[in-house]
Amino acid sequence: MPLPNYAEAEEDDNYFVTMTDMMVGLLFIFLIMVAFFAYKLSKQSDTEGMVPQQFLIELKTENNTLRSKLEETEKKLQTALTSLSLVQSKLNTAEAQIALLEKEIQEIKLNSLARFNESSRDSRRRILRSVQNRVQEIDQSIAISADYERGILRLQGVDLFASASTSLLNPSTVRLLADILEKELQCSIFGHTPIHPCTKSIGFVEAVYIEGHTDNLPLRAGYRTDGIQNNLQLSARRASNTYQTMIDSAPGLGQFQNPSSQSIMSVSAYGEQRPLTDNINREARNHNRRIDIRLEMYQPKDEKEVADLESLSAIAAQTASNRNTHNTQRPEPTSTEPSSSVTWEIKKAPSK
C-alpha cells in the first residue's frame, strides 16, 4: 500500500489559505471604499442642505424690497381706480350736458312758428278733454266723445233730434255744453282778458264750427217740413238750431273773436257726405247722425307775428293773475261799467 503524499497535500492547503487572504483583503478594501463613498455622499448632502447666513439675509432683504414695491404698486392702482372713477363721473356729466345741448339745438331748429303751432294743438287737446270731462261729470247720460287729433267734440244726433226733425229734443244738453265751452275757451281767445289765470300753454282759437251730419236715408215726402228737401238742408238747419241755442245760453261765445277780428262761431253742414261708418244698419246710421263741434286754432303767418302773439298772451295772463289776486284780497264793488281789457293789435301780413 503506497504511503500518502504529504507534500502535495500541504501545497494544496497553502493555496487555499492564500486565496482566502486575498478574498478577505479585497472584501476589506471594498468595505473601506463603500464607507468612503458613503461618507462623501453624507458630506455632500449636509453641504447642500446648509444655506449660508449671508444668502438668507440677502434673500430676506430682496423679499422686503419686493413687498414694498408691491404695496406701492397697489397704492398706485388704487389711485388709478379712483381717478378712473372721477373720469367716469365727469364723462357721465359731459354726456348729460351733450344730451341737453342736443335737445336745445333741436329746439332751436324747431323755430318759434313750429313751437307755437305745436303749443296751439296742445291747447286744443286740453280744451276738448276738459269740456268732455266736465260735461260727463255733470251728466253721465250725455253721449259726448272727442277726436283729439281732428279737434272735434261729438254729440250723437239720435239723442238730439227726432228722425227728419230739426228741433232739439234735449236743448239742456246743448246749453250745458255751451256754458262749459265758454269758460274753457277764455284763455285761448284773442283780445279777451280771462277771469282766471291761464296755463303757460298758448294758442288762439281761429274758429268753432257747429257741423251737422246725417245718415244716407233720403227724406220721405211726408217728412219734408220747413222747405227742407234733402239731408244737406236738414243738417244745415240742425246745425243752425244748435248754434243759436249755444249762443242764447252762453252769449260770450258770440262775442269771442279770432286774431283776424272775426267771430269764432260758425255753422257748417255736410248732410250724408262725411259718414263715420258705412250706413249698413240702424246702429251705424245712428252713429252717423251727429253734431260735431270742431275747433280750429289760429296759425300765425311768420315768426314776427308769433312774437307779437306771445307777448300779448303774456300781458293777458298777467292781467288775469293781477285781477285774481285783487279779488282774493278785496271784493270789488258791484258796478254796471264794463271792466277794462287789454288792447290787442296784430298787423296782418299783406296777402299775396
User: Regarding predicted confidence, which is higher, 192 or 344?
Assistant: 192
pLDDT in tens, 88-108: 888 999 999 999 888 877 776
Residue with cell 249698413: 280
Does the structure show a pLDDT above 50 at 351?
no
pLDDT confidence bin for 196, thresholds 50/70/90: low
pLDDT for res 208:
96
pLDDT band for 83, please (50, 70, 90 cuts): confident
pLDDT in tens, 116-134: 888 889 989 999 999 999 9
H helix intervals, 110-192: 112-138, 171-185
Would you call 14 exposed, middle or buried from its count of C-beta atoms within 10 A (0-12, 13-18, 19+)? exposed
Give pairs for 111-118: CB < 8 Å, separation 24+: 111/303, 112/303, 112/306, 112/307, 112/310, 113/300, 113/302, 113/303, 113/306, 116/202, 116/203, 116/300, 116/306, 116/309, 116/310, 117/297, 117/299, 117/300
Cell of 164: 227728419
Residue 194 in this model has a pLDDT that exceeds 80: no
What pLDDT is attached to residue 85?
Answer: 87
Q: What is the pLDDT of residue 271?
A: 94
pLDDT above 90 for 58: no
**122 residue type, one letter:** D
Instruction: Kindly give the pairing relationship between strand 205-213 and strand 265-271.
Output: parallel
- What sign has the CA pseudo-torsion 279, 285, 289, 295? negative
pLDDT at 311: 75
pLDDT value at position 238? Answer: 94
Query: Would you state the pLDDT for residue 133?
Result: 95
Residue 78 pLDDT > 80, yes or no? yes
| pLDDT tens-digit map of 141-166 | 999 999 999 999 999 887 888 888 88
The packing angle between helices 171-185 and 231-249, to 10°, is 60
What DSSP character marks residue 290?
E
Q: In what order do the strands lie in the sheet with 144-147?
A: 144-147, 152-156, 290-297, 205-213, 265-271
pTM of the model: 0.60
Cell 300753454 sits on residue: 201
Q: What's the average model confidence in pLDDT over 33-56?
A: 66
Distance, CA of 328 to chain centre:
38
3-state SS of 193-231 is: CCCCCCCCCCCCEEEEEEEEECCCCCCCHHHCCCCCCCH
Cα 292 from Cα 147, distance rounded (Å): 10
pLDDT exceeds 80 at position 300? yes
End-to-end C-alpha distance for the chain, whole angstroms: 178
Pairing of strands 265-271, 144-147: unpaired
pLDDT of residue 16: 53
Percent of the chain with pLDDT over 70: 73
DSSP symbol at 57: H
Q: Say whether pLDDT at 138 is over 50.
A: yes
Q: Where are the alpha helices (DSSP H) in 250-300?
A: 251-255, 282-288
What pLDDT was estimated at residue 118?
A: 85
317 CB-near residues (< 8 Å, 6+ apart): 187, 194, 197, 198
Encoded amino acid at 200, one letter = K
Contacts of 171 (CB under 8 A, 6+ apart): 245
